[in-house]
Structures are given as C-alpha cells and as structure tokens.
Chains A and B, each alone.
Chain A
C-alpha cells in the first residue's frame, strides 16, 4: 500500500468545533468533481477535508488538487470498502486528532453549502452522536431519496418514502431515527472514542446501520436534520458505479445483515433472529429459483460461508459492543419497522405490477368490447369461409352433446355431481382426514382444487359445473389443436380440418358416454403438450414469421419445459395414469429423435429435457404423487393389474379398438385406406420440416394404436386406466396430421413441378372427406349419456334418496352407504373396480360426488372389507351385515333391475329390504354401527370375512352401544354416561393421528379388527368425550410446501429472468 499525502490546509482557527470532512471515493469519476466542488463551497468555517481514494482505476489526485487544493489526499492501492477507507483516513489525517466531529461523504453525494454547518449545529444542540441530512436526487433536488432510515429486525432497510416522492417539506422536522445513511453523515468524536469507528468487515452496505446501532446502544442519539440537504446518486445501488461491490450487492447485504444482528442484538434475541433470518434467506432462494435467477443463488451460500468464517471477529466485536451497552434493545426497537418489511415490499411491487397490467388489460378490453369494434371484428370474422366451417363443426359438436347440456346431470364414469356446497372440494383438500371409503389421511388429489375452481366458476350449480367441466376440457383440446396448426401455417382451412377431425372423432363420443374424465383431460392437454415438445425438439414447419419459436438457450428451454410440466401436471391431476402415457410418449420422441434427427446430439439433448418434465410433474404434484406413483397408487395401478388391465381395468380396454380408431362399426378396408391416405399424404407431400413433425406424429399414431390393440387382446398389461385415454394420442396425432397435410398441400406443393403429388393431393382430401362424412358424422345422433344412473333417473329420486340417508344420519349417528354394482361405479373411478365382477363404492350419507372420484390406493381395511363384499355378492355368505357393521355400512344401494345382486342381497339374513324406488333397491344393515360408538364390551368380529362359527359374529351385544354424533369433519363427541361402556370404536381406518379425550384426559389408542380404531375407556370415565383427528397441521404444512413448489413452477414457466431482475428485494 502506498500513500500520498498532500499539503496541510492553512485555515484560520476560530471557536467553532473542528470538523474533518472525509470524502471517500472509488471510481466516482462521474460525480466526484461536483462532490469536491460542493465540499469546497461549504460555509462552515472550521472545516478540514481529507479525500481518500479507495483504489480507483484512474488518477483522482489531480481533480482533488484542482478543486480542493488544501485538502489532504490519500490513495489506497486497492478497494477495501468504505469503512476501511474512512477508518484509514481518520488514522492518517493530521486534522483527525483535533477534530470534534467527522463528516463522511461519498463521492456520489454533493452537500448544499450550509449542509455541514447545519449538521454541526444540530449535533451541538442535541449532543447527538450521529446526525444525517436529507438526501435528494442527484440533479433533481425536488425528489427525495432518504430522510433518515429505519430497518426491520433483520436489518432490511426501510426509507419510509414513496417511490419518486417529491420534497414538499413534509419530512422537514428534525427527529431521531434508527440510522442515517453514510453518504453524508456527521459522527461525533465522542462516539468514535467510545464505540469505535466504522466496521471495516462490511466492505459496503450496512456499516452505517451498524455504527448507528452501536451508537444507540451506547446511549448516543441518532438524528436526521432535514434542513441539511445533499444530493445523492446512490451509485452502488443503482449499478452506476464501476466497482466489485456493484456485482456483489446481494452477497454483501446477505452477509452483513446477520453480522449486524450478531453484533448488536440482545443475547436472548440473537439466536432466534439469526434462525428466522436463515429461514427467510432460504425462502428467498426458493423464490430466486422460481425466477430462474440462478446466478444470484450462489450469493447465499457464499454469504453464509463468509459470515460463518467471520464469527470469531464478530464475537470479539459483539463483546465490545455489549460491554459498552447502556440501554436495552427495546429502546432501539421503537425505531424499527415492526413487520417483515422485506416481504411487504416484495408483495407491494408485485401488486403494483399487477395493477398496472390490469389497467392496461382493462383499457384494451374496453376498446375491443365497444359495439363498433365488436361489429367490425364479427363482420370480418364471418366473411371468412373457414369461420363458417368452424361454426358448422361447433354446431355438430353441440348437437352430438345435446343430452349432456339439456339432459339430467351426469353421473357416470368419473363425472359425478359436484358436492353441495361446492366448497367441500376445497375443504377436503385441506382436511387432515377425508371421509372417502373408510377414511384416509392420504395426500389429497390435486384434482380437488381444480374441480372446486370449476364449481366456483359455475356458481355452485352442480349440473352447470359438469357442463363447464366437460365443455371446458373439450374446448381446451380444440383450441390446442387450432393453436398447434396455426403456429405452423397461415392457411385457415388447415386449422379447420384439424379441428373438425378432433371435434368429431369417435373417441370424444366414447369419452363422454363413459364419463371418462381422465381421458377427456388428456384430450384437452395433449395438443398443447405436443406443441411445446415439438418446438423444444428443434426446427418447426411454417413460413417465415409463421414458424413457431424454437427455444434456443437453456433459459428458454427451461421455461418451455416448465410450461410443458405445468400442463402435464394439470392433465395428471385429472388423469393420474396419464403420467405413464407421457413417459411412453417421450420415449417415442427420444427414440425417433435418436433415429432421424437433423442434429442427433442436440435433438437427443433436447429430448432429455422433455423427459425431465415427467420428473417436474411429479414434484409439482407432491405429496399426492408420492402415493400415486406406488404400485397400487392411482397412476400405476393399471400397469400392475395384470394383462389387459385384469379384472379391474380390463372392461375399459375391451373396446373394439381398431373399429373405434378407424371408423365406427369396423369400417374395414376403407377405414384403413382413409387412415393410410392421411398418413401417407402428411409424410410425403409437405416440405422437410413439416414432414419431420408429420413423421413423428405418424410414429406416435402407429405405436400407440399397436400397443392399444395388444392390450385390448390381453397380450400386454394396461398402461393407463382406459383405452380411450390411451387412444387420445393417436387421435390427436391424426388431427394434427390432417392439419399438416392440408397446410403442406397449400404451402409446399406449388413449389414443385407438377407431378404425381398434385394428383394425389385431391384424392387424399376426397378420401378424408368421405371418411369423415360416412364414418363419423352419422355417429352424432347417437352421442348420448347412459341412462342407468341415479342422477339420470330423475333429480327428485336422487334428492329423496340422499335426503333419506342424510336425515337418517342426523337422527341416529353417522354411517356409510355401500353403492354396489355397475350402475353406480366403474373402473374409471380410482379406488373402485378392484373386485371381480362387481364394482362398489363406499360413501358418507351424502352419496357419491366428485369427492369420491380420485381416491387413494385401497387401505388394509378396505381390502379386508372387499373380501366380505366379494363373498356377499358371490352368494357365499348370509350374514354380511355383521361383517359390514364395523365399517359403519348401514345402507346398501343396488340397481333394482340387477337380479343377481338383489338375489345376493336377499340372501343376507341381517339385511332389511326397502321397496324399490325409481329403480333403486335399498337394503338396510340391521347390525350397523355408527362410525363412532361407545361400546359395552370387547369385540368379537373377525378382521376379515373368515367366518368359521357363529361365535365369530358376536356383534349382537354391540347393538346396545351408544353412537357418538358427528360434529364436523373428523370430529365426534358426546357424553359418556356412568355405564358399563368400556371402549370407543371408530370405524375409520386406523391412523395414529386419531385422538380421544374424556374431559381432557387422553385415552389409550389401538387397532381394532386389524384396521379400525379403538380407544379404551377408564372405569371412572365420565363427561364429554371428543374424538378428533389431530394431524391437520401436517397436511397444511405439506400443502403450503406444495403451493410454494407450484408457484415456483408457474414463475419459471412465465417469466424471463430479465423481466424480473432487480425487482426482487
């Protein structure tokens, strides 16, 4: 280090306190001249000046000599930060020992001529240790920059000013503050002598707060004197300074804040503050990940590492600070911001952005919605022939689905009435314990909030919600196809042809007839996913500006993959097994890429990115995905059900696949020819890029069709729940191929000389048209919903039946209803269809609703219960009621026309039959027990249907049990009379989270029957008993984490890093 010392100023000595002004500069060429001029113009008489250059990259001394010839000057070889430089100046300045006050000035600050006088006067008046001035904008003194500062408990600074606030004298009162900025600050000699000078360990950012906190702890005042004004550039914060600190701001701030806390906070607070600070830092890291600002993420581990390395130094300094401490922390905290200021600033900024966006959107929308604009755009749209064609397609689709719109509510497959109120969907999502089957604490399906949102949009109207759900998904699919083709051609008939094929395809008829909601979700999401995947893969078809954007770097690739993952997650939420379909799809993409890529290595690399989306989907859908991806879980259950889907999923795979795929009724050779014509045309007529996509689509079409046929013949295991779901891929491929074919004929064919392809083109179009007209159009009148469901019979019947159940539950305790037979359930619904022959569902008295659709894998209790139901329906049991009783099954609803099932029910000696009402026979289990029961004696019911003697069925003694009424979700309570009750039986799946208390005393908890819950009552138990599930908070924590992951995914999918850079506090 070398030092250059200038001449000592020869200034007249007067009675004013001596002040040493220390100007610290580092690469401040743009502002230093004005700064020095301002210092030179100070009116304060007893002022000495020292300029210290902290390793600037140019020669500062000339300017100093020119503007402040009397000033001392010191140059440091390298930049060691403001604190170090200021301390060094005080060490070497000859005026420092005699100075009463020190004024520290940044090179980007220009004090008014009276500034130092006013600061000194205030310090003398108030005996303050630190006095700061009012900072205004550089060159624009009307705008305020800082007028005293505060901070939250974690040392995040708070200025208290609005952005761009104009100085109207509103802050012109002298006052005590937590700290003042060191851009232009007066510090008393007394303070330096007692508390020490600047902490050189900070380098930049935060040393002013540290000094002021130390001053306050030592009993000094910290004031702001607004009349002492200076202009300030804030060069470091606004990235205008050419300094290493500019690029290290996040590192410095995250390292220095815990340093300030560790040094100054009281002993009883320091640990807690540092712990919470660490958590907050981790949350920031998560947010930064979400915004893909990975480069800034590095700052956090570095900052923490640096802080930990400095702990010995910090500890030493802390001892010194605490030794001189004269006032308690709470006196300082009154100057601090109470809330978590950092978070508030973040959300305020987001809100402001949203507000601006909304206003802009509103203005645009209003201009578009003016009558003239509507008339104009409508007229323009209607003049296009393709618009007329689209209207015809929509009309045909609406005609095909007319019964869904105007008929009774759907109750088939996975489309069941929405629960009333709809809010139960969201309530169940957040509930620790869900009343599905025999109850579960399993992670709730992500479909629930999605379905809830549909319910909210539909104003809670059950039928409307169904229509919105089904038509919404169909519309999404059609828009996706339209968008896919539109991005690849400007020729409207190509879009129209693709949309027409997709809208009128027989698969849509099958999906809507069977209520295959999962297949519908795939139908809706697949075109969108394929668009992204194909763009990620590389060059796409299209002319010039029509060609869709191909992600060209890691950043845009990431964004596209997260978009793909979000759509995939939405699809998987509604169609759990679709994740297997995606894996198969992306494997085909990878193989095709490897085999035929334009740039093999690059395409394979990109295909890997696509494959990574499956992992991202699993993460987005956690914690549900953790259970769904188990062998018996919702996603993989079909795969493990045996060849052809076994007895559970087999029925949904026995569709005559080839006839459904080609033409209805097995169109035979003609159907195959039409399909071949489409494929042949699409992979030969267009230009290279389009052919490339067409070829990949063709491979998908062929592969999925072949696998579908093999599964339907029970040669392969079923990869997904239904053939409709699987065939969504070939049908989507077919629609997109048609789009490519038409676009290729229009855009690429004329480039070639007249040849065979010009002749083939009209032939292929004619074949397509014939196929559509004679194969698919005639299906439209036959599109309908099956009528064999409760809701389809009549709304009144369903209402009266469910009202009967609900009122029975209110009268005599909560119970369950067993819905038996194919009328109620089919294997599309998760959690059903496990039993050979007869599917069933167990619900609460409210009946089957959308809540029951996406159930977890069967529990031990349900598996055991299934044995009983199987034996009962197979007519190998005549006392099923005894065995169903512990599961609280009171009513069994059976289709009155199902003779076999009614015969099986009629055989049960412990059932009572009720007259059939509107096609439904209800049997009452005479042995039923309420879900929560006070019981007089020990229990003797077999754990499963292993009846070897009448002694196995000693439930009769239980009939005298006393039900505990249900008081809410997973909560039962009632009075324990002074009787012989010895235990409480809870007919829900055993879970450790269940608790029972009698007047505050917790009861012992154990398993009953190998699956249910049992609580032992002490002999002297008396009072109110409460049975609850106590682990709701675990679920909420999980879901909060899930929400955070989802937010990150959304952020990564929608924002580029430049758009948000610098906005995150």
Chain B
C-alpha cells in the first residue's frame, strides 16, 4: 500500500464525516417556486343572498381593486329563474353599486361576475321599520356552512337564506347544535333547494322554540351559499336586524375588533363546537389602553357538539369598548360570533363573525346611502406599534383622507377611526393597509332616525 492510498482514504473519511453534518452546514435555500395564487385574477363570481321583505332596500356594491378596468356582469336568481344580465365596466380603483331590485326578479339573490382583476363585493339592506344590516357576499359556494347564532325564540325570527346559483338542484342537511343537544330535525335532513333560487328557511317552522343554537348546514348534493337573517322584535324591547353569510369551516382562533358592552343591553360571545372533540377556549380582550385576560375565561370548555353563550357583562364593565380574541388552547376548531343588543335610546341588534386570521390588508364597504355614522375598529395584534393607512375608494376614484395616511395603533391595542367626515354622506370602499404589524379590522355603521339600528362587519382580508 502506497502512502497516496492512505492520504486518499483519510481525505475520503474526512469528507464523509463532513457529509454527516451537511444538513446543518449547508444553508437551505428556497427553491424557485411560484407562490400559489400569485397570478393575475381572471374572473370571480360573487353570490349575495339578501334579506327580502316589504320596505327592504338591498344594494350590492362591487369595487375594482385592480389597476385595469373590469367587466362586471350582474344578475339575480329566484324561483328557478335567472334575470337577464346587466353588464357594466368598472374603472380601476372605483366602485359600482346596484340595487338588487333593479336586477329584475323579486325576492332574489344577487350574483355579480367580475372579469379581469381582483375585486370585492358586499351588500347592505336598509328597512325603515326593521333596521340596517351590512353583509359580506361569498365568492365561494360550498357544501358546508356554519353559524353560531340562531334562535327560534319569539321575537327572534331567524331565517336561513339559501342561494343556489347553479343549474343543479341542491339538497341540505341542517344540524342544530344547542347548549345541551345536537340534532338534525327530520324535515331538515333532506331539504331540497331548487336550482337558480334563493330559498328562505324560517327555522321556527322546523324546530321547537329555543333561545339560542348554532347551525351546521351541509349540502349533500350541490353547492350553495347560505346566509342567516334575523329580525329582532322582542317583547323586552330588543329590536333591529342582522344578517351575514356563514363561514365555511370552523377555526381555532377568531379575532373580533369591534366589541362593546352596552350600558343598556348585552354583549355575548356565542361559541359553537361542531366537532367531535371538546375545545378549551380562552378570551383576550383589547382596549385602547390595555390587553387583559379574564381568568374565568382562561380555559372555558366547549363540549363537542354543543353551544356555549358567554355574557361578557359578567366579566367586563358596562360601556366597555374593546376588541376580543377567542382561541382554542387545545387547537380544536370552533365557530364564534359576537352578539350585541343595544337598549335604551340607541337600539339595535347585531351578530357578527370575526376574522379567523390576521392580515395586513383588509377591505370593507363604508357608509350608507342615507348617511349615518361609520367607524372602523382596528386591533393591532403585533408586539410593536402598527402604522395603518386607510384608502377610500368611491365611484369617482380613490383618496387617502387627511389624517388617515398613518394611523398609529399600539401593540395589543384597539383603535377606532371615524371615517364619517370623509364620506360626504355617501358610500365608499375602505382599503385598510397595515404598513407595519398585523391587524384585524371591523366596520361599525349606525343609523338613527326611523331605522335606528347598527351593523358591524368584519373587513375581508385581501389575498
């Protein structure tokens, strides 16, 4: 054996030993991979179930968030019919509104198709007698929908508005989850929804009188968009209305930005666990000055297939304005809604979903056709101060109102921004961008006068 052989062997051995640690030595560079969803938006369909009734005025607003004009095709569906198309072009960074009644069919759901760029669409319904409600539209028909707030009690008339925008029949199975049981009423186990229709399901006709329960709506055939609409006219003085499209899947975390324990009235956190494992949830409350965790709500058990209603007035002082995070400490997903009844002079009722995730860009409609007060509740969930810019998109273009270029929100704090002065009595779309930090945003709109109601709506994160 020559010396070179030994040298070679030693070098080889050293190299092999070196490879043994290669995992730790070599940096892990990211491979060249196109991020999902990074391409250009081509088309989207927005489905807006809207409440119907005498004196109800519903309108649908579409905002072009892209840099190129988009073509918009609007139509409505009702009674297995589809109205004729209404085509329009929406310039970049502007919005276009249409009354649902102008789409041609009565008691209809609205469908908006947008071609060519990213967009958002939401709806608002105002009734002099019943109140005010702002609602998201859904871009995603689904075979499952969840709600945490529903009731068949007197004065709490809850409807499911089921929009089936497709040419195929849908069949629903609706599961009711109460505080002590979990049931599928016989007549709701195979409920047929005709094609091209918006079908209201008045829950009191199918289920016994119950103050509160959650819902799981499953389409065993077809895909639908389901909204819940509740008209409140209780003997105890509660009144108003609220509606929103459901959520498609439970989440282990829910962020609410616009909470308030009314001086007169009540605020509830309504949590439903549709899963098969108990979820232990905790509450974190954010205010303009502090962040707190009520010890009683540190590990609140939500049994599987049950609903739990938490009256926040039992833990927080009245008149307390706050944000709220409800999260599962054992990572079991659940559905949460915040339900508020205002009493006294400013009446109103509202139930709203939170956001399941934090983000840096949100969008929501602001304002009403008839004035009112519009505020944005923003909670900064970062560990440092967040700087936020608010852009308002109107039919005439976009502006950044003075004072809203750099709104500062402390870490773990809530801020409320009143945008009413910048709306000029009209409507706009607000794009809320966190220049630093991660946030959640919720709008709060209130109308006095004969409407005398308020509505909240979680702003939609932008992808």
Contact = CB atoms under 8 A, between A and B. Distances in A.
A644 B31 contact: yes
Interface string A672-715: 11011001100110000001000100100010011001100111
22 contacts: A646-B31, A656-B23, A658-B21, A658-B23, A679-B12, A680-B13, A684-B1, A698-B8, A706-B19, A714-B30, A871-B40, A874-B38, A876-B41, A878-B43, A878-B139, A909-B165, A915-B220, A915-B221, A946-B42, A947-B116, A950-B85, A950-B115
A837 B39 CA distance: 13
Given A715-B26, A945-B42, A647 B32 contact: yes
Interface in B66-81: 71, 73
Contacts of A906: 140-143, 223
B27 interface: yes
B139 A907 contact: yes
Interface string B1-26: 10001101110110111011111001
Interface in B336-376: none
Contacts of B85: 950
Given A658-B20, A709-B19, A913 B116 contact: no
Interface string B116-139: 100000000000000000000001
B20 A647 contact: no
Given A650-B31, A679-B12, A669 B20 contact: yes
Name the 7 nearest CB pairs between A and B, nearest first.
Answer: A672-B20, A836-B34, A642-B32, A949-B71, A714-B29, A650-B31, A647-B33
A709 B248 contact: no
B115 A952 contact: yes
B42 A876 contact: yes
Contact of A903 (B32, B142, B166): B142
B36 A836 contact: yes
A50 B40 CA distance: 101
Given A702-B12, A903-B140, A950-B73, A671 B20 contact: yes
Interface of B: 1, 5-6, 8-10, 12-13, 15-17, 19-23, 26-45, 71, 73, 85, 87, 113, 115-116, 139-143, 165-168, 220-223, 248-249
Contacts, number: 178
A219 interface: no
Given A903-B140, A903-B142, A683 B12 contact: yes
A876 B40 contact: yes
A1018 interface: no
Contacts of B13: 676, 679-680
Interface residues of A, number: 66
A683 B20 contact: no
A435 interface: no
A646 B26 CA distance: 18
A695 B4 CA distance: 11
Given A903-B248, A926-B167, A950-B87, A684 B20 contact: no
A899 interface: yes
Nearest to B89: A949
A874 B37 contact: yes
A521 B162 CA distance: 56
A658 B27 CA distance: 14
Contact of B32 (A646, A659, A907, A947): A646
Contacts of A915: 220-221
A643 B45 contact: no
A645 interface: yes
A912 interface: yes
Given A683-B8, A713-B29, A879-B45, A705 B19 contact: yes
Nearest to A912: B168
Contact of A715 (B12, B29, B38, B45): B29
A854 to B, nearest CB: 24
Q: Interface of chain A, helix or strand or loop or mixed?
A: helix
A909 B112 CA distance: 12
A669 B27 CA distance: 20
A878 B19 contact: no
Nearest to B111: A909
Nearest to B29: A714
A945 to B, nearest CB: 6
Nearest to B34: A836
A909 B166 contact: yes
**Best-buried of B6, B31, B45, B249 by chain A (most CB within 10 Å):** B31
B166 A912 contact: yes
A130 B12 CA distance: 84
Contacts of A907: 44-45, 139-141
Interface in A622-670: 642-647, 650, 654, 656-659, 661-662, 666, 668-669
A875 B139 CA distance: 10
Interface string A885-924: 0000000000000010001001101001101000000000
Contacts of A284: none
A706 B17 CA distance: 12
**Best-buried of B12, B21, B44, B45 by chain A (most CB within 10 Å):** B12
Given A646-B32, A647-B32, A672 B16 contact: yes
A679 B10 CA distance: 10
Interface in A843-876: 867, 870-871, 873-876
Nearest to B87: A950
Given A647-B31, A713-B27, A876 B16 contact: no
A877 interface: yes
A352 interface: no
B26 A691 contact: no
Contacts of A645: 31
Contacts of B21: 658, 672
Contacts of B28: 713-714
Contacts of B31: 642-647, 650, 654, 714
A948 interface: yes
Contacts of B32: 642-644, 646-647, 650, 714
Nearest to A663: B20
Contact of B12 (A698, A713, A871): A698
Given A647-B34, A709-B19, A909-B113, 13 more contacts: A644-B31, A658-B23, A691-B1, A698-B8, A875-B140, A876-B44, A878-B45, A906-B141, A907-B140, A912-B166, A947-B43, A947-B116, A948-B116
Interface in A790-833: none
